[in-house]
Amino acid sequence: MTPPYDVIVVGSGTAGCVVANELSADRRRRVLLLEAGPDTADRSPDWFSGLGDSTNFIPHRTVRRTPQAPITSYLSGNGVGGSARVNGMLALAGLPADYERWNAEFGCTDWAADVIGADVDELRMAFPVVPPEMTGPLDRALMSAAGRFGFAQPVDLAKYAEGAGRLPLAARHGVRRSSIERFLQPALDRDNLRLRTRASVVRIDTGRRAGVEVLLADGETLTARRVVLCAGTFETPAILLRSGVRRAGLGMNLRDHAAISVPLKLTAPGDSAYWMASAWRASSAGGYADIGLIPFHRPARGPGAATTFLMVALMTCESIGRLTFGSAAEPSAIHADANLLSDPADAAGFNDAVDLALQVLDDPGFASAARPTDAEQIAALRDPSARQAWVARHLDGFFHACGTARMGTPGDPLAVTDQRGQVIGVDGVYVMDASSMPTIPRAPTHFSTALIAHRLARQLSG
């Protein structure tokens, strides 16, 4: 008996949108895209206002970033488009060395920098760089400060590891252009692609002659020749565990970018078309291009006050966390113990990032444009005896969690998939999302997630 679908794609975030687009390009291939959340394809809120609406995020996702930090909600986008509907739109590729590491340390030869270069260049075309006239005074203040500190500016951040420059965004003409608009909507015109929302996957079963079965929460069973999981860093390993997959790496190897936000008051006149439009990459004493400074400015809108801050981030992560699945009160709950800055190299790198940020805040040119408003925070960060404890309690994150179903070689006991996305030892089931990253790139994960989906879907098609 022939299954009704050739491929079922689970999850319609960035990865799912890209995979559905790539696989359905062959009109002979029947593709079903499942989304557990609502159909939100026609509404993408701006980032800041979207944070205030809990319906934009999957419930029962929590994180503790350090042992001293409180448990807080982990913001993962709900509905069609996933986090691409509500994220900061940053679409910067990792450095070539980030992907080369997947090759050198994890045996993923298909991800060597010289192998993936053409795909990186192709995908970059989807994410235009903010034009100079659409930056704001805070962007210009940061880039000017970088120049005074001896860094090149403005630089093309796609070509230069260090320096300050304008960012590529998932946007155009000042408006978000999410993975829905860029990848999914053009494909939905194809009669061989179907999108189905509010279809929550309980488990998958490969022990069937007809193909791979997908059991939904309402009891319905769907069948396809192959299933591609794009449910994200939290849900993809959960589905595999519920399906009886017992790879030791499931839910392990959790990585994220550590960050803090320094609130500012913008005193220079003018606004930016984008709330985040530039970044400064620098190096810690023990790393390279591992410090990220990103200015944020949201002008006052209606009754809302202006919001301005400088995000200070460590863009590498050797500290490894893990996921915990389910609780007595909520079986669907997933909790992340991120364990950020537990690795000494990360702790030292983040300390250098804070040092650089404080120097920037003290720079007269930058201070003429913006000044910090939280005196208690600044005092703690300046005090060597207080900084570590303050950071441990207040550390934030970029919500760039990845790595919980990582790729590797079949002989690697902690690998969940091979380098082409197939779950090791399981026929017909693939992972093509951020959970498959062996390590985190030195960039926001949106681009690299799309890159994984793009490359692996094309390989599956071939």
Task: Specify binding-site residues for FAD.
Answer: 201
Residues marked as binding? 201
Of 44, 21, 8, 30, the residue nearest 231 (C-alpha): 8
